[in-house]
């Protein structure tokens, strides 16, 4: 169900134009007071417009905060996004966007107070001058906030580059979501004639499968040659257990993977409490694998 608050929040990029448009008018209205035959009318109108702009701006800021939480950019119960790395261009821009919006609101309050003073002391041109300066700063600050909002909605050179890099990294990593080669173990050569009980891997029934390039080496007790990989499938009473993979990389290191899409309740404690795991090197939980399977060494 989409409630009115949610609807209002999702339309944040549209509503921002209302307070911003009003604030942009203010310096012109105050400047008109200098030339008009009715300067006090212009000042009073400017005060009213400033009040509406400030109120609208505060509502818009609330809608932005709500929207940021709806999009999971701002954690629930917090006012600012968490920026945990420099690569998070969107979160960084959002944080600055919020801080600047707040600075603009403070300037807005100041301008309202100045305008009230200018209305009360029409004879003193200095108050009107201060209003002119204040509203220019207010419009400039919120204008910049709007520009940052545009960057977040449409992207700029930096954010679009970061997004393209993330997509490319995923494209070049065919196994980002599933261990495709390990799941295709039936295309590899079985290392044993029959399943065996593997005490090293949780006492489950197991069987190893190796690429043709690695089967002779493993059978002869030599380390896996570069590019070769082995898979260890496991079962408990016919139910699939974790799928293991070990690969010899070109740089002389080994990569490990462990995939168990349905961890039974009783086993979760040993798998970080997860109900589904897909771990890949350098995941810290796989350090134990390297403890037994040292790089460049024969099979344990
Ligand atoms: C306690 C030592 C030990 C640990 C820890 C261990 N392994 Fe093994 N692994 C072995 C032994 C021994 C074998 C040979 C088959 C057997 O006895 O289970 C083996 C076989 C394998 C194989 C198939 C054959 C081969 O040589 O590659 C794979 C793949 C594998 N392990 C992956 C893993 C992964 C992934 C982990 C970490 C999640 C891991 N292992 C943790 C000892 C271990």
Listed residue (175, 295, 151, 274) closest to 226, CA to CA:
295
Statement: residue 103 has pLDDT above 90: yes
Distance 290 CA to ligand 1 centre (A): 9
So what's the pLDDT on residue 268?
92
Centre of ligand 1 to C-alpha 293, Å, is 7
CB-based pocket (< 6 A), ligand 1: 198, 200-201, 206, 208, 218, 230-232, 244-246, 256, 258, 286, 288-289, 291-293, 299-300
Q: What percent of the chain has pLDDT over 70?
A: 97
- Type and span of the H or E element at 50: helix 39-70
Please report where in the chains the tokens 């960084």 appear, as a residue.
92
Whether 250 and 227 have beta carbons less than 8 Å apart is answered as yes
Average pLDDT, the chain: 92
Q: How far is CA 22 from the centre of its chain?
A: 33
Distance (angstroms) between ligand 1 centre and the Cα of 171 equals 29
Residues 8 and 61: beta-carbon distance below 8 Å = no
**Model pLDDT for residues 211-238, shown as the tens digit of each residue:** 999 999 988 889 999 999 999 999 999 9
- Is the pLDDT at 297 greater than 80? The verdict is no
pLDDT bucket at 298, cuts 50 / 70 / 90? low
Q: What is the pLDDT of residue 234?
A: 97
Backbone angles phi, psi at 205, to 5 degrees: -70, 135
Cβ neighbours of residue 109 under 8 Å, at least 6 residues apart? 54
């Amino acid at each position: 169900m989409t409630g009115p608050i949610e609807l209002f929040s999702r339309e944040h990029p549209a509503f921002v134009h209302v307070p911003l448009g009003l604030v942009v008018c203010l310096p012109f209205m105050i400047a008109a007071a200098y030339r008009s035959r009715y300067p006090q009318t212009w000042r009073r109108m400017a005060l009213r417009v400033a009040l509406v702009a400030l109120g609208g701006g505060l509502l818009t800021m609330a809608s932005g905060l709500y929207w940021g939480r709806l999009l999971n950019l701002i954690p629930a119960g917090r006012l600012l996004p968490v920026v945990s790395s420099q690569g998070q261009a969107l979160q960084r821009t959002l944080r600055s966007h919020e801080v600047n919006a707040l600075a603009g609101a403070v300037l807005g309050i100041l301008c309202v107070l100045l305008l009230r003073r200018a209305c009360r002391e029409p004879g003193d041109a200095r108050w009107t001058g201060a209003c002119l300066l204040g509203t220019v700063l207010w419009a400039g600050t919120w204008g910049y906030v709007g520009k940052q909002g545009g960057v977040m909605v449409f992207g700029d050179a930096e954010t679009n580059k970061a997004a393209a890099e993330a997509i490319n990294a995923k494209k070049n990593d065919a196994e980002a979501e599933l261990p495709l080669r390990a799941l295709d173990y039936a295309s590899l050569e079985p290392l044993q004639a029959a399943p065996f009980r593997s005490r090293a891997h949780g006492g489950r029934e197991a069987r190893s499968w190796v690429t043709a390039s690695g089967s002779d080496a493993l059978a002869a007790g030599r380390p896996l040659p570069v590019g070769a990989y082995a898979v260890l499938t496991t079962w408990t009473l016919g139910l699939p257990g974790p799928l293991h993979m070990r690969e010899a990389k070109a740089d002389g290191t080994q990569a490990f993977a462990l995939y168990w899409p349905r961890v039974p309740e009783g086993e979760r404690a040993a798998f970080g409490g997860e109900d589904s795991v897909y771990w890949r090197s350098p995941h810290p939980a796989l350090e134990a694998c390297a403890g037994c399977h040292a790089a460049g060494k024969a099979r344990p």
